Amino acid sequence: MARIVVAMSGGVDSSVAAALLQRQGHEVIGLFMRHGEEPSPVCRAEGSPAVFASRRQGCCRAADAADARRVAEQLSIPFFALEFSDQFARIVDYFCDEYLRGRTPNPCIVCNTWLKFGRLFAYADAVGAEFVATGHYARLDRAADGSPAIFRAVDEAKDQSYVLFGIERRLLPRVLLPVGGFAKAEIRGLAADWGLPVADKPDSQEICFVPDDDHAAFVRARRGGDDAADRHGEIVSTDGQVLGAHEGIEQFTVGQRKGLRVACGQRRYVVRIEPDTRRVVIGRREELARTSLVAREANWLVEPPREAVRCRVKIRYRSPAVPAMVEPRTDGSFLARFEQPVFGVAPGQAAVCYDGDRLLGGGWIE
């Protein structure tokens, strides 16, 4: 049996992941990632990461840390809350900067890449743990050649493989995804059968550091102040006609229809955002159509392709994967050519590639 570090968020999925691994006979260590911007008192063991002695928390709810601790106590496993506020501040800055560049960030992918499947491995090494496990809905299995590979979850409605494309390939042998082979209803059923206190806890639907899911207000507050630049601009049609005004491009994303606050007589969508002029360009749905995209900083969980490959590509977390030809480039980017036009290709989001249910890799839409 192995020593395993489990990232426990206080939700039902990671709690059941920890319980499943324990029931399989493994030695489980529960970790909660504190990333509030107001640091709490910590105690430190020489040569080890900071561990909280307090439950105070900033942007991540204190109730979640308390829930994770209660589950760990019930399972009788060690539990620690680690200080990641400095690293997480980089993710918050990335989130704000991308919106102000007219792009649409995906902080969950960045958090998974930098922290959950990044820094947590450093902690796992420090405590002699062989594996890091999370409550993500995806499956870690063996490919035809015997190598470890990530596949879509059994529960298609909950599949989170899209946000895992950034994991380093070399780490796959040390990753565990215990809940990906279950439907969500089964996970809640197991939590109830085992008497876990989070069995009925609602799923989080928001970005963890954005209050009330109002990302525009968050960006303005984060980048506000007396010296903040005026961010108002025009809303224009694709032919250049001025249709209205806005108070900041951080309110918009490509493909957006609601909240445009202009009267056109027909449905209009954000077609592109021009950060230099602060113009938001809107048009008809057909003007959103794209037949190709370029994605930079590709990360492959398979042997990196050297020539064009036919696969399926997802351009957003909630969009379906569609047929495309993906052509790798020498600069680490790739070109995806779609068999049929796709709608709402947003710079800053991820283009993620699949072969059937297998996650191949992905990159950031440029």
Catalytic residue list contains 208:
yes
Does the reported pTM lie above 0.85? yes
- What contacts 24+ positions apart, CB below 8 Å, involve 193-200? 194/16, 194/19, 195/74, 196/12, 196/15, 196/16, 196/19, 196/71, 196/74, 197/67, 197/70, 197/71, 197/74, 198/10, 198/11, 198/12, 198/15, 198/67, 198/70, 198/71, 199/12
More confident residue, 50 or 171: 171
Structural domain boundaries in the chain: 3-211, 230-283, 288-365
pLDDT one-digit tens code per residue, 257-269: 998 888 877 899 9
Decide if pLDDT at 59 tops 50: no
Rounded mean pLDDT, 175-188: 98
Model pLDDT, residue 60? 56
Rounded Cα gap, residues 277 and 354, in angstroms = 37
Are 300 and 360 a contacting pair, CB within 8 Å? yes
Whether residue 57 is predicted with pLDDT greater than 50 in this model: the reply is no
Residue 51, pLDDT above cutoff 80: no
The reply to whether domains 230-283 and 288-365 share a CATH topology is no
Candidate CATH numbers 2.40.128.520, 2.30.130.10, 3.40.50.170, 2.40.30.10; the one for domain 288-365: 2.40.30.10
| Residues 262 and 282: beta-carbon distance below 8 Å | yes
Instruction: Give the pLDDT band (50/70/90) at residue 229.
Output: low
Of the listed ranges 61-65, 111-115, 159-163, 174-178, the least confidently predicted one is: 61-65
Q: What is the pLDDT of residue 214?
A: 86
Looking at every residue in the chain, the average pLDDT score rounds to: 89
Residue 167: which of 90, 111, 248 has the closest Cα? 111
Number of alpha carbons in the 13 Å side-chain half-sphere of residue 176: 23
Q: Which CATH superfamily is domain 3-211 in?
A: HUPs (3.40.50.620)
Query: Over 90: is that where the pLDDT of 39 sits?
Result: no
Residue 225 pLDDT exceeds 60: no
Query: For 305, which DSSP code?
Result: P
Q: What is the pLDDT of residue 52?
A: 31
Catalytic residue among 60, 96, 111, 353: 111
Q: Is 111 a catalytic residue?
A: yes
Active site residue: 208, 264, 311, 353, which one? 208
pLDDT for res 226: 40
Taken as a whole, the chain contains a residue count of 366
pLDDT, position 47: 36
User: Percentage of the chain with pLDDT > 90?
Assistant: 77
Q: Which segment, 20-29, 37-46, 109-118, is predicted with the most confidence on average?
A: 20-29
**CATH number of the domain at 230-283, out of 3.30.450.20, 3.90.79.10, 3.30.420.40, 2.30.30.280?**
2.30.30.280
